[in-house]
Amino acid sequence: MTSKNQSTLAVSTVIFALRPDEASGLMTLWLPLVRRIREPHLGQWALPGGWLPGDEELAAAASRTLRETTGLAPKYLEQLYTFGDLGRSPGNRVVSVVYWALVQSDEAALAAVGENVQWFPADRLPELAFDHNRIVDYALWRLRTKVEYSRIAHAFLGETFTLAQLRDVHEAVLQKPLDPANFRRTVEASGTVVDTGQHLAGARHRPPRLYRYNDSSRLADQGPLGPSIG
């Protein structure tokens, strides 16, 4: 595709969704991987992606390659980082612009799972092609950092949610239990959520209150992951 000593541009995407751990049943982060059907790294798992044509916008290429490989079409994609170390790919240098997205479980269920597309727990990945383990590690670090100060957890939730559901997301992302009372106090004091005055339907005994994110709240990051892309 390129002559010797030239660089090639590619796009890859990291998609995180919350799913129950098969052993513990607790919610944890999963991501879809695709099996490579050509060399290099024939047969190894890799992030969804592909080459960047000269006439296609970055975000459009990320959306297209994700749709073609997994069937997923997230509402928002955000540019994560650019990986271009020498030697990350055999042959000519390949510079990968990586996007990421968070999807809810119903959206994740639309993935075209099969022999060459599978979901994997983010903390128990096999050895991936190229430097894709490093890319996933970086995406996990970014997510765990952002969940502490932004509304990024909203991407895993519906428009309304209980504080217990919000805490479940934080615990899954951070991989540690959080004290319910302390979490409630911290969230309510932050001003980032608003009590809707409604309660969770179908709950027995004392139904929990439903909250939504405060659109007028000024945060360090306005997440969930955009909508600005490109």
| pLDDT of the residue at 226 | 41
pLDDT band at 129 (very low <50, low <70, confident <90, very high): very high
Contact, 230 vs 59, CB < 8 A?
yes
Domains of the chain in start order, with CATH, are: 7-146 (3.90.79.10), 152-213 (1.10.10.10)
Structural contact between residues 87 and 97, judged by C-beta atoms closer than 8 angstroms: no
pLDDT for res 205: 81
Which is more confidently placed, 165 or 223? 165
**Max CA distance (Å), the chain:** 70
Residues in the chain: 230
Alpha-carbon span 72 to 65, nearest angstrom: 10
CB 156 within 8 A of CB 147: no
DSSP state of 155: G
- Whether 80 contacts 16, CB under 8 Å: no
Report the distance separating Cα 151 and Cα 214, nearest Å.
10
